[in-house]
Structure formats: structure tokens, C-alpha cells
Amino acid sequence: MGRPPCCDKIGVKKGPWTPEEDIILVSYIQEHGPGNWRAVPANTGLLRCSKSCRLRWTNYLRPGIKRGNFTEHEEKMIIHLQALLGNRWAAIASYLPQRTDNDIKNYWNTHLKKKLKKHQGHGHDHSQDGRSAASHESISKGQWERRLQTDIQMAKKALCEALSIDKSTSDAVAPAEAKPASMTLNQSYTKPVLQSSAYASSAENIERLLQNWTRKSPKSATTVPSEAATQTYSENNRSVLTGSSPSEGTVSAMTPEGLDSLLSFNSTNSDVSQQSVSVDEAANFRPDENVFFQAAENKPSLEGSGQMPLSFLEKWLLDDAGALQVQDDQDLMDMSLGETADLF
């Protein structure tokens, strides 16, 4: 007799979230921060289970999420990382701070997997999910696991170094990767002290859901970047930490007026999918707040002494970011699989 599922309770609503529910959830989290999900339905009156609330926030309402339009660089990162880490989507997502694990998982299953399969048809004998069939067969499970551990350590170190390079060279790599650490998934969960900056851009999500509300097509609303993206985080911090968030410990009834206050700090000159890093953000960027370090925190088993030539993985993982010319699938697969398998 296991414990009953959390969503078995009578009266728990399932299915798609309504804009009203979204607003309530965002409003609550802006005030209290994410975490303690069990308290969310209880305190907001939402007829949702805690898991559903968490999922909704993580995958949809969380600030800084970029939706759709995976860049070439992101695609390659995913393929590389998938080859290294397997289907550990959360781990992969931690290297792509603007993407959710669910999004990456979906993208992998619907696009990349297909690409790989198609590529297999061209004669490469690669197994599903990006792992080399040859290596799969030739390497015993234990060997594979050991190698995987080594791979992870090396990738981790290389990314660590590469990201610090990224930082110094600012936008030379994909702009998406230069986002401030405050917009990361893990931080939302594990670094409450920084949460406020992340909540600020919830306004864009609210606007997005309002677009959903007015339009009928959720698809267009989710793929079209919001006009109202974030201002600098320092400004957002001010807006959220000072007057614009509801006070008095209750979730405000989100009237249009209430929404105005939430939306008031939006600017209109940037794009969610291309959020540029402001001077403030750059100044505030600290390696220890970087998503990579967050990821490392969450993967203690990956800590280790793995040393490797930076230039090597740098090239492997990140250099191709500069090469924005579209490469054909052949290159993509060669990069992801051939090199991954061969290099280690």
C-alpha cells in the first residue's frame, strides 16, 4: 500500500490551465516565491495539486523562458548533451537556462530524434537517442557507466570554463547563453535570495497568457514572442520588491487594474527570445550565480577531478555557436555523434 497520489484528492482540477488560474499562481509566487508547493493550492484556493502548480510554473509561467524557435546552437547543445548525458532532460536544461526540461524533451522527441533517425538512414549506424550503437554493443554496461561519468565530469569542467569565457566575451556566443544567472531554473528553486529578480519578468508571462485569453489560438500566443519583455533586472527588482506586487499576505483578485500594476514595468523594446543583457545584468553577473554552477550544485556526484584540455571541449561544445551559418544535417550529426563517440 503506497501512499495515495497527490492528485487523487476529490475536487482537484486537471487539464489545461485557465488564464485566471495562471494569474493566481503567478501572483502568489511573486509574493511568496516558488517552493512549498503544497501550500500553493491551500493558500490560493486553486483546485490544483501541488505538482500541477509546480509544473505549470516551471514549464510555462516561470520568467525567462524562451519558447519555440530553437537556435542552431541550442540544437547542437542539446544533441551534444544528450549524447553525453542521455535522457537527463533536467540536467540538459540546466545548461540551457532559458529552456525547460519539458521543452527540450519535447523538442528532442519531435525534432531531433527524427533528424537523427533520418541521418541513420544515410548509413550511419547510430542507435536511437544519439548513442552509438557500436559503442553500445562494444562497451559493457559498467564500462559505459564509467565512461559516462568521465564524460560528464569533462563536459562539466569544459562548460564551466567556456561559460566564463562567454562572460568575458559577452555576446560573442549565442545571446541566449549570456543571460543573467538570475533567470535560471535552479535558482528559482534553490536561491531564494535571488528570486525577486526572476519574478519580475513574470509580467511577460502574464501578458502572454492574456494574449492567450484574448486570442483563441494558444499556439500563436506561445510561439510569438511577447512584446513586453523585461527591462533590466535592477529595475524589475525595484518594481517587484516595492509597490507593484500584492501585499497583505493574500493573493489579490487580479482585476485588470491589478494586472496593470504588474505589467507596468514592462518595456516594449526587447524581445523575449532575444533578451539582451543590460549593463546592470552584466555588472551583476557572477560566476557563482551562473546556471552552470547551479547545475553543478545539483549534481554532486559529478564533482570530481576531471581535467581536460579546455580548447578541446570548448571547440566541441561552444565554438560552433559562432558559426551561425546553417550547416546541413550531416555536419550536425557528425558533430554530435561521431565526435562524441570518438573523442572520449
Q: Would you give the distance in Å from CA 276 to the centre of its chain?
A: 17
d(CA 111, CA 30): 34
Provide, rounded to whole angstroms, the least separation between the CB of residue 100 and DNA. 7
> Under the criterion CB under 7 A, does residue 50 sit at the interface with DNA?
yes
Grid coordinates representing 332 are 550536425
Q: Please pick, from the candidates 71, 149, 150, 222, the single residue that binds DNA as defined by CB under 7 A.
A: 222
d(CA 131, CA 337): 7
Closer to DNA by Cβ: residue 32 or 126: 32
DSSP string, 168-213: HTGGGS-GGGG--GGG-HHHHHH-GGGHHHHHHTHHHHHHHHHHHH
Binding string to DNA for residues 256 to 285, with x set by CB under 7 A, is what?
------------------------------
Render the burial of 90-102: b for 16+ CB within 10 Å, e for the rest: bbbbbbbbbbbbe
d(CA 331, CA 335): 6
Grid coordinates representing 114 are 527524427
Provide, rounded to whole angstroms, the least separation between the CB of residue 97 and DNA. 13
Provide, rounded to whole angstroms, the least separation between the CB of residue 16 and DNA. 4
Render the burial of 303-314: b for 16+ CB within 10 Å, e for the rest: eeebebeeeebe
**Binders of DNA among 103-142, rule CB under 7 A?**
103, 105-107, 109-111, 114
**Binders of DNA among 150-179, rule CB under 7 A?**
none
As to burial, measured by CB atoms within 10 angstroms (0-12 exposed, 13-18 middle, 19+ buried), residue 25 is: buried
> Under the criterion CB under 7 A, does residue 45 sit at the interface with DNA?
no
Do 84 and 155 touch, CB atoms closer than 8 A? yes
Closer to DNA by Cβ: residue 68 or 243: 68
> Under the criterion CB under 7 A, does residue 55 sit at the interface with DNA?
yes
Interacting stretch for DNA, rule CB under 7 A, among 195-203, 213-221, 240-248, 277-285? 213-221
**Binders of DNA among 178-197, rule CB under 7 A?**
189
Q: Please pick, from the candidates 9, 51, 146, 286, the single residue that binds DNA as defined by CB under 7 A.
A: 51
> Under the criterion CB under 7 A, does residue 293 sit at the interface with DNA?
no
Query: Rounded to whole angstroms, what are the CA distances from 196 to 102, 182, 227?
Result: 24, 9, 22
> Under the criterion CB under 7 A, does residue 218 sit at the interface with DNA?
yes
Closer to DNA by Cβ: residue 58 or 266: 58
Contacts with DNA, residue ranges (CB under 7 A): 2-3, 5-7, 13-17, 35-39, 48, 50-52, 54-56, 59-60, 67-68, 87-91, 101-103, 105-107, 109-111, 114, 189, 216-220, 222-223, 298
